[in-house]
Structure 1
């Protein structure tokens, strides 16, 4: 019951912050970044105890589906709150905060299977860099969606509503590529540390994650190189960002969902 209460409270705070930011984007409420951050922080404070509880039940190197979702969304919320102090990315909260709240409710109803085993410093480095890479690139994906909406609106000469509330197109694009660069550095560290510290990155239970993570790395690398050399931007950058993030999402959650939900294996 306590876990459910925390999840509901977090969802309320997250939805309040997301709703205000959405009304700001629609120009139906004044910008209140401090209010959005405060509500988001309150949601995160309700979020973190559930993270600790689920991790205590799943201390292995491969946490279950619900544990992974709760942990990664908490990291994403924390990173968004921090990054928004320096970069105009708070609009990402419109999508991220509700997703985080719903992930908590899912975790309450779908507990993570227990696992055993310790975590060495090398494996901890791999796990942390993997989680941070996913968090940053997931934020980049939401930023790409907003950029795509802005780009389409400007192409059709729709200059009211959300377009007026977002930063200039060039700023949105610059922030997107800054997020992708940061995510790529972390993803590279995750892949390298995995090969160095894990027994076999192509073992049966890790092969899919390794292959899909490498595929996502290649997609983002092509995007960054093409942006630098060929000037890729706009909707092409949006599509490649979303494609890379979709592959990374499958790498992190695809097999967990199949094993724990569809096949119901521990």
Structure 2
């Protein structure tokens, strides 16, 4: 998300989106399916409006919290599409809570202003990175649903996922594969065109190290699945480890700079 912290319109839209997300999250058991679906749709549209409005702000900003906010929106977008294919999918209240938390966090920590002299290709590079975050976040959500469904099946209970277990597994690894492709493209762009994008050549800082470690982890996961048939809990653990490393790469490093050290550079 690119957000103008001083804009009253951005604050009003963000507050409205957070409240709209909070409705299905807090009242999931009391809302009917149609009402909950409509409330989540309104929240998703308001969240989208916050993102779009921020693109035309006078002082666009970016940081760890806006990155998480856009990632949450992308995950909800994936959920909205999958709901059309699997109407019984049951994760609405969790994703609504995630959306509300991400919106509030971005309101509190809007990030640093983007330099007016930044390369015109920088937004594309940031978009690649955020899309990569969104795909791996969707993979993590599906892996969690897969683990939960498997546990319910082992206990002879209704899995409550709305999606067959094997379909969840296939979707999980499709998201991992797509995310890996975008991660590779993002890293190559940063390595080859770092000076054009950021005014400096590639360097091995914390972000680069964690990004490469996550790339190696996901590469190992995909290779292990293709060559050795990795699946189930072990594969999910590797996915979680790679996603955690990727989260530390940008979000973690920016969190330390912006919140712990109080710096915006």
The TM-score range, normalised by the shorter chain, is 0.7 to 0.9
SS at match of 1:198: helix
> CA distance change for structure 1 residues 29 and 168 in 2, over 3 Å: closer, same or farther?
farther
Provide Cα deviations, 1:149-194, integer angstroms capped at 9, x if missing partner.
2222323x2323xx04432211111111111111111111111122
CA shift for structure 1 position 121: 4.6
CA distance in structure 2 between the partners assigned to 1:130 and 1:113 by the alignment: 17
CA distance in structure 1 between the partners assigned to 2:201 and 2:72 by the alignment: 25
Other-structure match for 1:50: 50
CA distance in structure 2 between the partners assigned to 1:52 and 1:165 by the alignment: 32
Other-structure match for 1:69: 68
| TM-score between both structures, scaled by the size of structure 1 | 0.80
Task: Tell me how large the CA RMSD over aligned residues is.
Answer: 3.0
In the alignment, structure 1 segments of 5+ residues that lack a partner are: none
CA shift for structure 1 position 57: 5.9
CA shift for structure 1 position 88: 7.6
Other-structure match for 2:227: 229
Other-structure match for 1:260: 258
From 195, 216, 219, the equivalent of 1:218 is 216
CA distance in structure 2 between the partners assigned to 1:12 and 1:49 by the alignment: 14
Alpha carbons 2:191, 2:202 under 8 Å: kept: no
Alpha carbons 1:76, 1:139 under 8 Å: kept: yes
CA shift for structure 1 position 241: 1.1
From 146, 149, 166, the equivalent of 1:170 is 166
Other-structure match for 2:112: 113
CA shift for structure 1 position 17: 4.3
Provide Cα deviations, 1:127-170, integer angstroms capped at 9, x if missing partner.
11111010010111111112112222323x2323xx04432211
Runs of 4+ with deviation above 6 angstroms:
none
In the alignment, structure 2 segments of 5+ residues that lack a partner are: 1-7
| TM-score between both structures, scaled by the size of structure 2 | 0.80
The answer to whether the aligner puts 1:179 opposite 2:175 as a matched pair is: yes
